[in-house]
Structure 1
Amino acid sequence: MINRHRVQALMRKDWRELARNKQVIAPLVILPLVFVILMPGAVLLLGSDPGLLTTMVAGLGGFLDNLPVRALPAGYSAEQLTVYAIIVYFMAPLFLLIPVMVASLTASSSFVGEKERGTIEGLLYTPLTDRELVLGKVLASVIPSVLLTWASFLVYTVLVNALGASLMGGVFFPTWTWVISVLALAPLVAFLATCLIVAISGRSTTMQGAQGTVVLIVLPVLALIVGQATGLVLFDAWIAGIAAAALLVIDVAVFLAVVGRFRREPIITRL
Structure 2
Amino acid sequence: MNGRRVLTIARKDLSEVLRNKQALAPLLVVPIIFAVVFPAAIALLGRSSVLTASVNGLDAFLDNIPAGVLPPDLDTGGIVVYAALTYFLAPLFLMIPIMVASVIGSSSFVGEKERRTLEGLLYTPVTNRELVLGKVFAALVPAIVVTWGSFVIYAIIANVLGNPVVGRAFFPNVTWLILVFLLVPLVAFLAITLIVAVSGRSSTVQGAQGVSVLVLLPVLALVVGQATGLMLFDASVALIAAGVIAIVDVAVFLAVAKTFQRERLITKLT
CA distance in 2, matches of 1:199, 1:32: 25
Q: CA deviation at 1:23?
A: 2.3
SS of corresponding position for 1:259: helix
Pairwise mapping of residues 232-251 of structure 1 onto structure 2 (< 5 A)? 232-251=230-249
Question: Aligned residue for 2:34?
Answer: 35
| CA deviation after TM superposition for structure 1 residue 243, in Å | 0.5
Per the TM alignment, residue 48 of structure 1 is displaced from its structure 2 partner at its CA by: 2.4
Which letter maps to 1:204? Answer: S
Q: Letter of the 1:125 partner, please give it.
A: Y
> What are the Cα deviations for residues 168-226 of structure 1, in whole angstroms up to 9, with x where unaligned?
22311011111111111111010011111111111111111111111110111111111
Aligned partners of 1:8 and 1:251: how far apart in 2?
A: 19
C-alpha separation in 1, matches of 2:58 and 2:261 = 48
Partner of 1:87: 85
Q: What is the match of residue 124 of structure 1?
A: 122
Q: Deviations over 1:226-269 (max 9, x none)?
A: 11111122111111000001111111111111111112100111
2: CA distance, partners of 1:263 / 1:113:
17
* Match of residue 185 from structure 1: 183
Query: 1:157 is matched by which residue type in structure 2?
Result: A
Match for residue 147 of structure 1 among 145, 148, 172:
145
Letter in 1 for 2:140: V
| Alignment counterpart, residue 56 of structure 1, candidates 45, 54, 59 | 54
C-alpha distance in 2 between matches for 1:177 and 1:226:
18
TM-score, structure 2 length as denominator? 0.97
Is the Cα–Cα contact under 8 Å of residues 47 and 80 in structure 2 kept in the other structure?
A: no
Question: Are the aligned partners of 2:78 and 2:167 in contact in 1 as well (CA < 8 Å)?
Answer: no
Partner AA of 1:42 in structure 2? A
Structure-2 separation of matches of 1:114 and 1:84: 46
**Runs of 4+ in structure 1 over 3 Å off:** none
Aligned residues of 2:94 and 2:184 also touching (Cα < 8 A): yes
Note if contact 2:47-2:76 (Cα within 8 Å) is conserved in structure 1. Answer: no
Return the letter of the residue paired with 1:67. Answer: I
How many angstroms does 1:80 deviate by?
Answer: 0.3
Which of 96, 99, 104 does residue 98 from structure 1 map onto?
Answer: 96
How much identity, in percent, do the aligned residues show?
57
Residue 129 of structure 1: how far off its partner (Å): 1.4
How many residue pairs are counted as aligned between the two chains? 269
State the partner residue of 1:20. Answer: 19
| Paired letter, 2:155 | T
Cα deviation digits, residues 43-91 of structure 1 (max 9, x gap): 1111222x12112212211111011122212211111011111101110
Q: Distance in 1 between matches of 2:168 and 2:61?
A: 25
| Cα distance in 2 between the residues matched to 1:159 and 1:60 | 19
- 2:253 is aligned to 255
User: Cα distance, 1:35 vs. partner?
Assistant: 0.5
Q: Is the 8 A contact 2:199 2:205 kept in 1?
A: yes
- Residues in 2 aligned to 1:153 and 1:74: alpha-carbon distance in whole angstroms: 27
Q: How far apart are 1:145 and its partner, in Å?
A: 0.3
> Residue 221 of structure 2 corresponds to which residue in structure 1?
223
Counterpart of 1:76 (choices 74, 87, 90) is 74
**Structure 1 SS opposite 2:42:** helix
Q: Partner of 2:68: helix, strand, or coil?
A: helix
> In terms of mean alpha carbon deviation, does 56-65 or 104-113 score higher?
56-65
Specify the code of the residue in structure 2 equivalent to 1:116.
E
Output the TM-score relative to the length of structure 1. Answer: 0.97
Q: Secondary structure of the residue that 1:69 maps to in structure 2?
A: coil
- Secondary structure at 1:71 match in 2: coil
User: Which letter does structure 1 place at the counterpart of 2:130?
Assistant: E
Query: 1:205 — aligned with what?
Result: 203
**Unpaired runs of at least 5, structure 2:** none
- What one-letter code is carried by the residue in structure 2 that aligns with 1:53? L
Instruction: Give 1:22 shift.
Output: 2.0
